[in-house]
Homo-oligomer: A and B are copies of this chain.
Amino acid sequence: MDSRPIGVFDSGIGGLTVLQEIIEKLPGEDIIYFGDTARIPYGSRSKETVIKYTFQCIRFLLSKNIKAIVIACNTASALALEEAKKVFEIPMMGVIEPGAKAAAAKTKNGRIGVIGTIGTINSESYQKKIRRIQPSADVIGIPCPLFVPLVEEGWEDTDVALMTARKYLLELKEHHIDTLVMGCTHYPILRYTINKVMGEEVTLVNPAYETAKVVKDMLKEMNFLSDKYENGKYQFYVSDDPEKFIRIGGSFLKKEISSVRKINIEML
């Protein structure tokens, strides 16, 4: 048993959808969440920059005596997880591998779509990971850069969102995929709209949900689970604009966020 908290970080508020799934699966764990809101979005930055930012986030969480780290950001998982594992000695996982495994397991016709930010899609991380598990899979990645601002505007159920989704997802429909990975933490909030466009015959994979399952298994296996079964405590840190985090974070986490502290991440 290990009562130390789990550290979770993301480039901003999106990772709260991952946190929410972890809380659902592991309600007794204490968790420290860091959102790098001063430098969001990671999705459009170079690999070198994303690695630098990721290392700073990890150094911050390590200063909090944590037992494991979850990189909730798809871009950071795609571009920096491998590098980070070489440098830091702490159990660490990203959202890509759990999402890729679930997609490979769920597809029946072998045609899988992946949607995400430009950084995540261009890195081909999901695509390569899925093909490694299932070499015959036909995987197509489509970047959907407007989905994040649509969600942050609260427009996830509007006609604008529906029309945007139709435009982005047309190619995936024509390709007759049967499984679609929502490869960005914001996208599960758009799932009803995505579902409306893709139809019931396409299974949506939520890497946040899959990651939470793997976090639980990993902690169990290492005997790192907390001895509590409920009432986990949560601490939130951001690098900019705590008010905005409190204001819109609630809809991502499905519960109210009462207190957020601001830290200077660039010093780490």
Residues of A within 8 A of B (CB): 38-40, 44-46, 49, 145-146, 148-150, 152-153, 155, 158-160, 163-164, 167, 240-241, 244, 266
Contact = CB atoms under 8 A, between A and B. Distances in A.
Nearest to A39: B39
A184 B49 CA distance: 26
B149 A160 contact: no
Contact of A146 (B45, B49, B146): B146
Given A145-B153, A240-B49, A167 B163 contact: no
Contacts of A266: 266
Contacts of A39: 38-39
A50 to B, nearest CB: 10
Contacts of A159: 163
Contacts of A49: 38, 240-241
A39 B167 CA distance: 29
A153 B163 contact: no
Contact of A240 (B45, B241, B244): B45
A102 to B, nearest CB: 29
Contacts of A44: 40, 241, 244
Contacts of A40: 44
Contact of A45 (B45, B149, B155, B241): B241
Contacts of A244: 44
Contacts of A146: 146, 149-150, 153, 155, 160
19 contacts: A38-B39, A39-B39, A40-B44, A44-B241, A44-B244, A45-B240, A45-B241, A145-B149, A145-B153, A146-B149, A146-B150, A146-B160, A148-B149, A149-B149, A159-B163, A160-B160, A160-B167, A163-B163, A266-B266
Contacts of A158: 167
A91 to B, nearest CB: 30
A153 B244 CA distance: 25
A53 to B, nearest CB: 10
B46 A241 contact: yes
